[in-house]
Amino acid sequence: MKIRIKFRKYGVMKFIGHLDIMRYFQKAIRRAGIDICYSAGFSPHMIMSFASPLGVGLTSDGEYLDIEIGNELSSASAVHRLNAVMAEGVEVLSFRRIPDEKASNAMSLVAAADYEVRFRDPDVLPENYAKAWDSFCSQDAILITKKTKKGERELDLKPLLYQASLGQDADGAPVIFLRLSSGSADNVKPELVLEAFGAHAGFSLPEFALLIHRKELYANSGTTEEPHFVSLEALGEEF
Amino acid sequence: MTKSDTGKKLALSDEILLSIDKPARYLGNEINAVYKDKDQVDVRFCMCFPDVYEIGMSHLGIQILYDMFNQREDVWCERVYSPWVDLDRVLRERRIPLFALESQDPVRDFDFLGITLQYEMCYTNVLQVLDLSGIPLSAAERTWEDPIVIGGGPCAVNPEPLAEFFDLFYIGEGETSYFALIDAYKEVRETGGNRQEFLERAAGIPGIYVPSFYEISYHEDGTIASMEPVNPHAPRKVEKQVVADLTHTYYPKKPLVPFIKATQDRVVLEIQRGCIRGCRFCQAGMLYRPTRERSLKMLKEAALQMLESTGHEEISLSSLSSSDYSQLPELVNFLIDTFGNKGVNISLPSLRIDAFSLDVMGKVQDVRKSSLTFAPEAGSQRLRDVINKGLTEEVILEGAGQAFEGGWSKVKLYFMLGLPTETEEDQKGIAHLAEKIARRYYEIPKERRNGKCQITVSTSFFVPKPFTPFQWARMCTREEFLEKAHTVNAEIKEQLNRKSIRYNWHEADVTVLEGIFARGDRRVAKALRLAYEKGCLFDSWTEHFHNELWLAAFEEAGVDTDFYTTRKRELGEVFPWDFIDIGVTRKFLQREWERAHEGKVTPNCLAGCQGCGAARWHTGVCPGSTPADIQEGGEQA
Ligand code: SF4
């Protein structure tokens, strides 16, 4: 049976990198006594795949991994067992059954991601940042140069920026909400958008200026032209 | 602070943690880490392994003591490791005091700082930890406001090079006397006593050495004339501590699990302590006498509990010589039956190669990928007799032959160069033995072999250690060591099967340094401090070892290093470590030193007690003791 686990990463765990989070879950699943399936061969490994690596320093409410398990246990008891063996800073939110076919794999499904971006020190923003943000967003194209392994290429962020809005925290600090194209095809990191905004508004971001929080990961059940985003969690069902 | 940013407090800012390598080294929060309310405990103990996190976290001894201390409600034991060079720089630049992982509080605020001394090359890191904590390096300059700094571990059996920097040393196995020390501390604190009073109380606890309570005088030739207690509470001899019953004692049921990969990323099951063999170069073999086994029942339970509480995918047996554990087949079969089909790897280091071990290794590892390990230590039978290593060429070739027939093709061989009485013939013998093993491999018909064989020969340079029969031995110079390595290398290159043999040798400079501190006295401390001030740190890491700084430090301190390494020691010489009663008598060590020169082998403890002195603890393998399983209530039947 294929399972999708959704979890939240916060607090000190944001400093634990993706590879170590994978190792962490391998051990956690053993501690929880979940009957996970292994690959064949002399040194079998757990059948487990993560949807999308989260960079060091980022927190998240929407991280996913898919596993395969043998025995039946209810979603509720699996969540309970996993949370009983978690370190502070990782919380399992759901444990759902997903369809068996290959195409349902979390990693290949990821099409978009929601982010909240805050500023460690809001004073890095110019005074008229709200106006600048509106003018940034209302451009017909947002051209940037993206560094890739093969060199630099020109890229228009606009079609990859599904939603962008500026709001405020309870204490009045600016929060930028972004829904960005994500996954293997056009993966846009929130830093890239904020750098483009900085270039547009005439300010630059110092190192570590941003506090980035991932909210959710989505699959696209619509078309490229008319996307319809559903969270990866919604593709599974409780049992 | 945003909601997603709440959680445990950290000593370091995000900016720092995001700009250094592996921030997980400094966060705490690991699975099975112990958190307590600091206002609800009486004593805060910070346990330190003075090397980088991944090494320190792999050490079983710390895990045992961490678990033991935290079982007490009135004690909170936390951990600290050496900050890696990147964070070291940041802490100095920004004047951030070194902190313990759990509470993230400054180490300076603790009652105790316990530092384990596992190898000499971490001594500069000891100074780093003190320095970054803001604790005066010299014990004499500390006040009652500073933590009590206590050293332990194998290097504490010659604590003298570090005497100046420690308030106390704990000599021997940590499970026995620490609680008495904690109780004494609490009492002195509660009754408004001072630091001196506490040190005096501590001096009366078995196994505790208070270096400031002794004075050393020297002969004109530099050797020690006497070591006298100058405080009435200080005993003349400090007795090493031994756990009498290793089955009914502390063992961590919930070991810590780091987030980043540690050197030992597995459950470690210490099946016994000590070794019956009595190799004359081996310090551990003398320090941990008598050999004591843990019961099979206890080990089975511990294996189950530890795998469950950690989620590790591997379990490894640990001991100096696992094949000597009396119930090894039962234990190994239990592990294979219980965990073999659950994706748990079973790792069996330090097994003698024979039919049994080849059979179980065939079950638990991929034969084509894994290698066989032999540690003949010396290249000729003559020299193996001198060092009392009871491994013969026939046994090695027989074992290798069986293994080759069984599909193995990789062999690792470990030797030492610079052993007492060693000749060029002995050195060349290393090459010849490797060649014979290769030939044995190619005797197998081509169609049944698994390609070429790969023999890896590694040599380390011999360092004479305190409390071994070779404590009197002259150590070689750097040039002598390298010449020996070149002899071996040249001989290997001459041989028919040279393409199947790879040769590595250890570095000579760092070995010489190890030799100075291993048998050093209080006078080398000055050089250690100077070397640290010049920037020496992480000396066991090749890329960070700066021999030229060390040479300058010795020069400046006026320390003649040859005095500690290449000098010939007389039989009657008073050694810096003689004030410690290790159990094994000096008389026994001297007899073994003499027998070595006669090339006489001494039987192991099981073949017959040799009267080394350790029998007075009435435990383990010694005559007159009760074996662990009988204590357990005869459960093996
Ligand atoms: S007293 Fe005898 S049996 Fe005990 S450790 Fe010494 S030699 Fe071995």
Q: Which of A145, A230, A221 has its CA nearest to residue A179? A: A230
Question: pLDDT at position B356, please?
Answer: 84
Nearest atom within ligand 1 for CA of residue B606: 3
* Six token digits for residue B286: 């003398």
Nearest CA to ligand 1 atom 2: B609
Instruction: Provide the CB-side half-sphere exposure for B211 (13 A, CA).
Output: 27
Mean pLDDT on B81-86? 98
Nearest CA to ligand 1 atom 1: B615
Evaluate if residue B379 carries a pLDDT over 80: yes
- Taking the centre of ligand 1 as the mean of its atom positions, its distance from the CA of residue B613, in whole angstroms, is 7
**Measured between CA atoms, how close is B565 to chain A, in angstroms?**
44
Q: pLDDT tens across B570-613, in order?
A: 999 999 999 999 999 999 999 999 999 999 999 999 999 999 99
Evaluate if residue B5 carries a pLDDT over 70: no
Answer yes or no: do A49 and A145 share one domain: no
Question: pLDDT at position B634, please?
Answer: 39
**Domain-ending residue, one of A92, A108, A124:** A108
Judging contacts by C-beta atoms under 8 Å, the chain B residues touching residue A44 are 343
Yes or no, beta carbons of A10 and B29 under 8 Å apart: no
**Measured between CA atoms, how close is A19 to chain B, in angstroms?**
9
Evaluate if residue B633 carries a pLDDT over 70: no
Interface membership of A55 toward B (CB under 8 Å): no
For an interface test with A, give the residue of B2, B31, B53 to mutate (most A CBs within 10 A). Answer: B2
Mean pLDDT on B543-563? 96
Q: In B95-136, where does DSSP find H-type helix?
A: 123-133
Confidence of residue B363 (pLDDT cuts 50, 70, 90): confident
Own/partner contacts of B505-508, CB < 8 Å, gap of 24 or more, are: B505/B417, B505/B458, B505/B459, B505/B460, B505/B461, B506/B458, B506/B459, B506/B460, B506/B461, B507/B542, B507/B545, B508/B461, B508/B478, B508/B481, B508/B482
Interface membership of A89 toward B (CB under 8 Å): yes
Instruction: Please tell me which residue of chain B has the smallest CA distance to A87.
Output: B31
Instruction: Provide the CB-side half-sphere exposure for B569 (13 A, CA).
Output: 25
- B23 prior amide bond cis, ω within 30: no
Evaluate if residue B63 carries a pLDDT over 90: yes
Interface membership of A171 toward B (CB under 8 Å): no
Evaluate if residue B2 carries a pLDDT over 90: no
B22: left (phi over 0), alpha (psi -120 to 50) or beta: left
Percent of chain B with pLDDT over 90: 85
Answer yes or no: do A177 and A196 share one domain: yes
Lowest mean pLDDT among B86-100, B174-188, B277-291, B328-342: B328-342
Q: In B406-497, where does DSSP find H-type helix?
A: 424-442, 478-494
Yes or no, beta carbons of A10 and B18 under 8 Å apart: no
Judging contacts by C-beta atoms under 8 Å, the chain B residues touching residue A31 are 31, 308-311
Evaluate if residue B463 carries a pLDDT over 60: yes
| Ligand 1 pocket test target in B287, B293, B589, B610 with most atoms within 8 Å of CB | B610
Residue B15: DSSP 8-state: H
The boundaries of the domain holding residue A134 are: 110-235
Q: How far apart are CA B600 and CA B594, in angstroms?
A: 9
What does the mean pLDDT of chain B come to?
Answer: 93
Question: pLDDT at position B1, please?
Answer: 37
Yes or no, beta carbons of B15 and A87 under 8 Å apart: no
Instruction: Please tell me which residue of chain B has the smallest CA distance to A9.
Output: B4
Lowest mean pLDDT among A38-42, A55-59, B107-111, B263-267: A38-42
Residue pair B277/B95 in contact (Cβ under 8 Å)? The answer is no
Domains and CATH numbers, chain B: 14-239 (3.40.50.2300), 266-348+355-364+613-637 (3.30.750.210), 349-354+365-612 (no CATH)
Residue with the two structure tokens 């609490």? B186
Interface membership of A56 toward B (CB under 8 Å): yes
Choice between B495 and B355, residue whose per-residue pLDDT is larger? B495
Q: What residue ranges of chain A have pLDDT lower than 70?
A: 42
Nearest atom within ligand 1 for CA of residue B290: 5
Nearest atom within ligand 1 for CA of residue B276: 8
Q: Which residues of B touch A (CB under 8 A)?
A: 2, 4-8, 10, 14-15, 17-19, 23-24, 27-31, 257, 259-261, 307-313, 343, 345, 366
The SS3 call for residue A72 is coil
Is 0.90 surpassed by the pTM of this model?
yes
Answer yes or no: do A62 and A120 share one domain: no
Choice between B450 and A140, residue whose per-residue pLDDT is larger? A140
Question: pLDDT at position B7, please?
Answer: 62
Judging contacts by C-beta atoms under 8 Å, the chain A residues touching residue B30 are 87
Residue pair A72/A180 in contact (Cβ under 8 Å)? The answer is no
Q: How many domains does chain A have?
A: 2
* Six token digits for residue B230: 């100058």
Answer yes or no: do A102 and A114 share one domain: no
Answer yes or no: do A152 and A83 share one domain: no
Mean pLDDT on B85-114? 97
Write phi, then psi, for A10 (nearest 5 degrees): -150, 175
CB under 6 Å to ligand 1: residues? Answer: B 289-290, 605, 609-612, 614-615, 621-622
Residues 6+ apart with CB under 8 A from B3: none
Which one of A45, A59, A208 has the shortest CB-CB distance to B18? A208
Evaluate if residue B629 carries a pLDDT over 50: no
Evaluate if residue B288 carries a pLDDT over 60: yes
Per DSSP (E only), the strands in B58-195 are: 75-81, 112-116, 148-152, 168-170
**Is residue A168 exposed (0-12), middle (13-18) or buried (19+ Cβ within 10 Å)?**
exposed
Confidence of residue B331 (pLDDT cuts 50, 70, 90): very high
For an interface test with A, give the residue of B57, B99, B259 to mutate (most A CBs within 10 A). Answer: B259
Answer yes or no: do A63 and A24 share one domain: yes
Confidence of residue B627 (pLDDT cuts 50, 70, 90): low
The SS3 call for residue B231 is coil
Yes or no, beta carbons of A27 and B313 under 8 Å apart: yes
Confidence of residue B348 (pLDDT cuts 50, 70, 90): confident
Answer yes or no: do A99 and A180 share one domain: no
Evaluate if residue B56 carries a pLDDT over 70: yes
Interface membership of A27 toward B (CB under 8 Å): yes
Interface membership of A26 toward B (CB under 8 Å): yes
Question: pLDDT at position B391, please?
Answer: 87
CATH number at residue A7: 3.30.70.580
Interface membership of A207 toward B (CB under 8 Å): yes
CA-to-CA dists, residue B75 to B40, B123, B146, B172, angstroms = 9, 27, 17, 21
Residue B467: DSSP 8-state: T
Nearest atom within ligand 1 for CA of residue B291: 5
What is the value of ipTM here, to two decimals?
0.93
**Domain-ending residue, one of A108, A128, A152:** A108
Interface membership of A59 toward B (CB under 8 Å): yes
Answer yes or no: do A203 and A217 share one domain: yes
- Taking the centre of ligand 1 as the mean of its atom positions, its distance from the CA of residue B290, in whole angstroms, is 6
Question: pLDDT at position B541, please?
Answer: 94
Q: pLDDT tens across B115-171, in order?
A: 999 999 999 999 999 999 999 999 999 999 999 999 999 999 999 999 999 999 999
Mean pLDDT on B470-482? 97
Confidence of residue B279 (pLDDT cuts 50, 70, 90): very high
Judging contacts by C-beta atoms under 8 Å, the chain B residues touching residue A61 are 4
Q: pLDDT tens across B22-53, in order?
A: 999 999 999 999 999 999 999 999 999 999 99
CATH number at residue A135: 3.30.70
Answer yes or no: do A227 and A202 share one domain: yes
Which one of B28, B257, B366 has the shortest CB-CB distance to A27? B257
DSSP string, B363-419: HHS-TTT-EEEEEEESSSHHHHHHTT----HHHHHHHHHHHHHTT--EEEEEEEES-
CA triplet A30, A31, A33: central angle to 5 degrees?
65
For an interface test with B, give the residue of A30, A34, A46, A54 to mutate (most B CBs within 10 A). Answer: A30
**Domain-ending residue, one of A61, A86, A108:** A108
Answer yes or no: do A56 and A155 share one domain: no
Distance, first Cα to last Cα, chain A: 11
Answer yes or no: do A191 and A150 share one domain: yes
Per DSSP (E only), the strands in A120-173 are: 143-148, 151-156, 161-168
Residue pair B272/B246 in contact (Cβ under 8 Å)? The answer is yes
Yes or no, beta carbons of A12 and B8 under 8 Å apart: yes
* Six token digits for residue B346: 């079973």
Answer yes or no: do A129 and A69 share one domain: no
Evaluate if residue B318 carries a pLDDT over 50: yes
* Six token digits for residue B244: 């009498």
